Amino acid sequence: MSAWAAASAEIDSEAGTGVVANLAGVQARVAAIAPTATLIAVSKTKPLSSIAAAFSAGHRDFGENYVQELVDKAASVAESNLEIRWHFIGRLQSNKAKLLCTTPNLHAVHTVHNEKIAAALQKHWLDVRGPEASPLRVFIQVNTSGEEQKGGCEPAEAPALATVVRDAPNLDLVGLMCIGKYSGAEGDASPDFRVLRERRAAVAEELGVDQDNLALSMGMSHDFETALEHGATHVRVGSTIFGARVYSQE
């Protein structure tokens, strides 16, 4: 039995039905504010059986943070030839760009934060997928809160980085992404969301495009509704769908 078949056999378990119910709840909350927004179910650290449960309910967009974990999960799903859309949303080092580009059904990378990463993705996407493949969709991550531990380019650098991505033939600029200051805790990330919107306007002006054609990936379990009210087109929700994550002690 394939790993995906084994995972699918657990869909009717208590855990599986919990995921399906949680997913439906989040979908309804998203649709109530922004019916066209994309909900990305963030499955990092969660087993394939949780993904299979959400998939069985018709969900197709999944987010992962760690390159090796994503590659392993994507390979298991690919064996069964399923239409799934993987979003990489984790911190990306250029020495992992090649491995990331091998991910089956990689739909988008949300965390391009400097020219070096953009260049590495451009090179490896072309090498791994070939010149006929459609370009890799990328978001530029902006550090909207100025916190050192948060990834992303400085807000002022976003327009210049956007031109680098625009000029890379095998990359397709989808939009901008941020992690709100208080995401994952109680609090208000509205200032971050406002900065990202304002940066989108600046990028659109720099590129001479309509800002409505640039997406905003922002909002997590604790603040996705606020993010949608600020114009998010993609929200990334993990624990509210799949339950709290347990990390081994570091």
The residues of the shown chain that bind ligand PLP, judged by CB under 6 A, are 42, 44, 65, 89, 179, 184, 220-221, 236-240
Residues 90 and 63: their CA atoms lie apart, in Å, by 9
CB atoms near residue 43 (< 10 Å): 24
In whole angstroms, the minimum distance from the beta carbon of 208 to ligand PLP comes to: 29
Q: DSSP label at 142?
A: B
Residues 49 and 75: their CA atoms lie apart, in Å, by 14
In whole angstroms, the minimum distance from the beta carbon of 38 to ligand PLP comes to: 13
In whole angstroms, the minimum distance from the beta carbon of 120 to ligand PLP comes to: 20
Nearer to ligand PLP by Cβ, of 77 and 235: the residue is: 235
Work out the burial of residue 208: count CB atoms within 10 Å of its CB; fewer than 13 is exposed, 13-18 middle, 19 or more buried: exposed
Find, among 158, 152, 93, 103, the residue nearest to 125 by Cα.
103
In whole angstroms, the minimum distance from the beta carbon of 131 to ligand PLP comes to: 31
- Tokens 């090179």 found at: 123
The pair of structure tokens assigned to 19 is 């995921």
Find, among 229, 213, 215, 221, the residue nearest to 179 by Cα.
221
In whole angstroms, the minimum distance from the beta carbon of 217 to ligand PLP comes to: 8
For 123, the 3-state DSSP assignment is helix
Q: Which residue is nearest to ligand PLP (CB)?
A: 238
